[in-house]
Structure 1
Amino acid sequence: MNLSPDLQEAIAQIAIKQGISPEEFIVQALTEKIRSLQSPVSNPSPPQVGLREKEGVLVFETESLDHIDFNTLIAQSREERA
């Protein structure tokens, strides 16, 4: 691909922040874009699990955590410390 030097630099900087190669960043970005265009609007694809940067903040994407009882988890953590 013939990418402009500015675009190549932007890709390299983002890839470094994510700890991946520029090539891997391009593959991930293209895969994400293709999936978003192929999936119906009413049934969006589930978020990918993994670490990424979003608006300058490091974000860890996971599956839904609705099944976790955080109060119990916190109580167990406190018991282990005691």
Structure 2
Amino acid sequence: MNLPSYLQKEIEKWASSQGISVEEFIVQTITEKINQLNQYIEEPSLKEPLTYYEDRILVVDAPLPKDFDLVAFIDEVREERIQELMSS
């Protein structure tokens, strides 16, 4: 992402203070904002997921889609993490 330098510094400061990576901080922040916005949209077919932090990990308690493949998801996350570590 191309962020203004002042915003990048703030993100780094807050991520560091929470003991998480910049990427994790951005994902958590965006998730929180989306959840706030979703409170204003009334869609009876969508149940608001319960979100909370457990040991600095954002937990989203919601049913998974029928076609969700947990093994494939874990493989994708693992591959992304490996690529992230290799590019550092």
TM-score by length of 2: 0.47
Letter in 2 for 1:48: Y
Give the corresponding residue for 1:28: 28
Counterparts of 1:12 and 1:49, CA distance in 2: 20
Letter in 1 for 2:37: L
Residue-pair matches, total: 51
For the pair shown, the structure with the greater C-alpha radius of gyration is 1
Give the corresponding residue for 2:3: 3
SS at match of 1:48: strand
Letter in 1 for 2:27: V
Contact persistence 1:15–1:25 (CA under 8 A): yes
Q: Identity, % of aligned pairs? A: 46
Counterparts of 2:7 and 2:55, CA distance in 1: 22
| Aligned counterparts, 1:3-82, within 5 A | 3-40=3-40, 46=50, 48-50=52-54
Structure scoring higher RCO (CA < 8 A, sep ≥ 6) equals 1
TM-score by length of 1: 0.51
Counterparts of 2:40 and 2:55, CA distance in 1: 25
Contact persistence 1:12–1:22 (CA under 8 A): yes
Q: CA RMSD in A?
A: 2.5
Q: Which runs of structure 1 show a deviation greater than 6 angstroms over 4 or more consecutive aligned residues?
A: none
Q: 1:40 to 1:51 in 2, by over 3 A?
A: farther
